[in-house]
């Protein structure tokens, strides 16, 4: 089978969940299905996520006609590559469809009118809002993939399509996220991920300030910052790391008392699983996708006061922290990118067989 995957998320200078999804899925597909060819296609420059012999880079647009990518250029590239299936990893597939296409919908944030959505995202979301429903309802997208059952149920309710056309395929933490033996000079809590209002970092900061009045404990913020995130002023015990390497992130996960991730809305919650795979407890919101991902291995909170209580419990109760650490490792063991690749590949096969 020759599968073409949209590699546009890999062209972004800012790494994020969709870029990680694209790179990890591609690498796992290549490992699991060595007899298949996976062609990464985009009208933008990107680096291949792995050096597997069955992963290839498509041909970039060669003329102004092909630069009209989603209308003409992609269609020609699919024909040139001999692709039998297309996977739109980020809300889009080509139209009209020339091969069966799967579309990944990571969450329904483009269709939500939440106050934490900034102007730039609203502009992009407006395009997605118009394009994706049309592609689904006209069957340009033969199948929809979601990262969680919570989002699958949202998709079924919102788009009102047949349940058989939507499959939940969980994500996974990359294999290099594992416990790193390291004792930090001072205990700290960690937030890791995109710094944006939706992630509710403000509540993490507020809870830490309350806790800091009673305990000597630091807070580490790691990850890229979106323009609408208000940078907290410098203060003792607060460490803003920005974008860190994968090795550094694994170390930060491993040394933290807990990951604090009270996001208002998620499609899966990959940082939670990455932390748990390092044996680190997580404090999360009651967002359905986060609860689905973490299971009983995380402390659930509904407001800032409960975040404070959860943080203090894990800081002062070593037995409780050890119990949740063991639960985290056990829970994380149920996920792998190889399993994600196998379930995704099953969707490709089902489209060809339809």
3-state SS track over 31-91? HHCCCCEEEEECCCCCCCCCCCCCEEECCCCCCHHHHCHHHHHHHHHHHHHCCCEEEECCC
Class assignment of domain 188-332? alpha beta
Whole-Å CA distances, 243 to 113, 192, 289: 28, 9, 25
Residue 347: strand, helix, or coil: helix
The H-assigned helical ranges of the chain are: 17-32, 64-67, 74-81, 119-137, 149-159, 201-212, 246-255, 270-277, 288-294, 304-316, 318-332, 337-353
Domains 2-172+336-353 and 188-332 share a fold: yes
pLDDT tens-digit readout, 270-286: 999 999 999 999 999 99
Q: Are 166 and 103 in contact (CB under 8 A)?
A: no
Residue 124 has pLDDT above 60, yes or no: no
pLDDT given at position 115: 65
Torsion angle of alpha carbons 312, 315, 319, 321, nearest 10°?
100
**CA distances to 41, 62, 63 from 72, in Å:** 13, 12, 11
220-252 pLDDT tens trace: 999 988 777 787 888 999 999 999 999 999 999
pTM of the model: 0.92
Query: For the chain, which residues make up each domain, given as ranges?
Result: 2-172+336-353, 188-332
Q: Which residue has the higher pLDDT, 342 or 141?
A: 342
Judging by DSSP bridges, how do beta strands 298-301 and 218-222 pair with one another?
Answer: unpaired
pLDDT of residue 182: 87
**Rounded-to-integer distance, Cα 181 and Cα 29, Å:** 31
- The CATH architecture of the domain made up of 2-172+336-353 is 3-Layer(aba) Sandwich (3.40)
């Amino acid at each position: 089978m020759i599968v073409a995957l949209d590699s546009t998320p890999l062209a972004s200078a800012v790494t994020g969940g969709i870029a990680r999804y694209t790179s990890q899925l591609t690498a796992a597909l290549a490992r699991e299905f060595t007899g298949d060819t996976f062609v990464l296609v985009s009208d933008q420059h990107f680096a291949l996520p792995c050096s597997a012999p069955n992963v290839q880079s498509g041909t970039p647009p060669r003329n102004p006609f092909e630069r009209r990518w989603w209308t003409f250029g992609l269609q020609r590239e699919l024909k040139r590559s001999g692709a039998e299936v297309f996977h739109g990893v980020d809300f889009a597939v080509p139209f009209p469809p020339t091969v069966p296409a799967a579309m990944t919908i990571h969450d329904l944030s483009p269709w939500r009118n939440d106050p934490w959505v900034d102007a730039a995202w609203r502009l992009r979301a407006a395009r997605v809002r118009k394009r994706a429903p049309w592609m689904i309802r006209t069957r340009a997208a033969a199948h929809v993939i979601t990262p969680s059952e919570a989002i699958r149920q949202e998709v079924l309710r919102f788009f009102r399509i047949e349940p058989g056309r939507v499959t939940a395929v969980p994500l996974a933490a990359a294999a290099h996220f594992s416990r790193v033996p390291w004792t930090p000079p001072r205990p700290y809590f960690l937030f890791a991920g995109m710094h944006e209002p939706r992630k509710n970092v403000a509540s993490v900061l507020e809870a830490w300030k309350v806790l800091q009045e009673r305990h000597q404990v630091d807070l580490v913020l790691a990850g890229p910052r979106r323009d609408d995130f208000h940078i907290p002023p410098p203060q003792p015990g607060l460490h803003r790391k920005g974008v860190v390497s994968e090795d550094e992130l694994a170390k930060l996960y491993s040394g933290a008392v807990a990951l604090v991730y009270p996001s208002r809305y998620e499609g899966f919650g990959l940082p939670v699983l990455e932390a748990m795979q390092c044996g680190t407890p997580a404090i999360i919101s009651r967002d359905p996708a986060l609860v689905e991902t973490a299971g009983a291995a995380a402390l659930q909170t509904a407001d800032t006061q409960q975040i404070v209580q959860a943080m203090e419990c894990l800081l002062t109760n070593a037995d409780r922290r050890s119990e949740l650490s063991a639960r985290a490792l056990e829970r994380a063991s149920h996920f792998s990118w190889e399993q994600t690749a196998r379930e995704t590949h099953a969707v490709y096969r089902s489209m060809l067989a339809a």
